[in-house]
Amino acid sequence: MTLLATPSSATEHMARAIQLAKQGWYTTRTNPRVGCVLVREGLRVGEGAHLKPGEPHAEIHALNQAGELASGADAYVTLEPCSHYGRTPPCADALIKAGVKRVFIAQLDANPQVAGQGVKKLQAAGIEVFQGILEDQAKALNLGFTQRMMTGLPYVTVKLAMSIDGRTAMASGESQWITGPEARTDVQKLRAASCAIITGVDTVLMDNSRLTVRNPDLTGLYGFQQPLRVITDSRLRIELTAAILQQEGQTLIATSQVAVSANPAKVQALQALGVEVLELPLKEEHLDLTQLLKKLAEKGCNQVMVEAGATLAGAFIQAGLVQLLQLYIAPLLLGDAAKGLVTLPNLTQLAAAPHLQVNDVRAVGKDWRFLLEPLANS
């Protein structure tokens, strides 16, 4: 099924499909980002992208645009067409009904409900299927979706910002703003692409954080919804007047059974504000972060951002739950009395220090952004 000799035109058509898929970068959320191009006699006759869960997939948009010209056309799709009924009918059936001649797929679907079944359905209908054009670029579209399908956990990015001497806040807790406006705009994009943003109650109490996307270029996109705000609060110390509870969108507070039992009136008041209170087991006196991520995955969260203080960020790192660190370094010095980047209480030997691979470094305004991937064998 793999296409060995790829014509340049096929690569160009798939590149266009990948470009289309990126239109849903901030809005597909619980679904994969997918683009589709229909080509007949060398001309593109239909294009589409999936933009919002519950609405037509990329293939359907492309078929609708092509109309009768879809018959005998080649379809270039970034992800294997679905073969099952979800919120929408199977795209594989729609391609077959339209009379598509060949289907070029960049990446097979990791969803066990599809996982090759779309290909089999197309082939059974006499449609030629080729797979592998620009596969790496297509995979990069849906790291979170693939991670959730294969592991039951979302893709986790920890966002960190520090001074050049490795400090995140003054001893008093003052931290706004270490980085410049360009870096903060960049963080807005990361927030917008995330299904959920996790923070700790200490950060909320100290900064009165809102954790919302406020860039109108992002919030104005068709299908945009604010990410789920998640607060870890094992003792239920959140204040009912906290700004984060008054924002558009949903807030979830992860807490312990002990805290829920001890504060029934507060739980009721939070629920009256529309807040979901989630009870989690404790692990070494702290909330079980793996269980939190499993619950978020069950809600359909593909990508999760951790935007928290040193303790919670360090806990995610030490638990081996992080796929990417997005680190901003500002060219200023805060001194040795200021607060450090992450808390790693169980780290006592250099040999056990987490090792990271630098995937990307670039200037963002006056600051520098590092994308770092934890090495599994560190």
Residue 305 CB-density burial (10 A; 0-12 exposed, 13-18 middle, 19+ buried): buried
Question: Is 132 in a helix, a strand, or coil?
Answer: coil
Candidates 193, 227, 224, 219; CA nearest to 296 is: 227
Question: Can you tell me the distance from the alpha carbon of 232 to that of 273, in angstroms, rounded to the nearest whole number?
Answer: 17
Question: Can you tell me the distance from the alpha carbon of 153 to that of 303, in angstroms, rounded to the nearest whole number?
Answer: 9
Task: Look at strands 155-163 and 303-306 and give their pairing.
Answer: parallel
| Lookup: tokens for 5 | 């000799």
Question: What is the layout of strands, in order, in the sheet containing 367-374?
Answer: 276-279, 251-255, 228-232, 196-200, 303-306, 155-163, 324-330, 367-374, 356-364
Rounded to the nearest 5 degrees, what angle is found at the Cα of 147, between the Cα atoms of 83 and 249? 90
Residue 343 CB-density burial (10 A; 0-12 exposed, 13-18 middle, 19+ buried): middle
Determine whether 59 is an active site residue.
yes
Of 47, 59, 80, 307, which residue is the catalytic one?
59
Q: What is the 8-class DSSP label of residue 2?
A: B
Which residues are marked as active site? Answer: 59
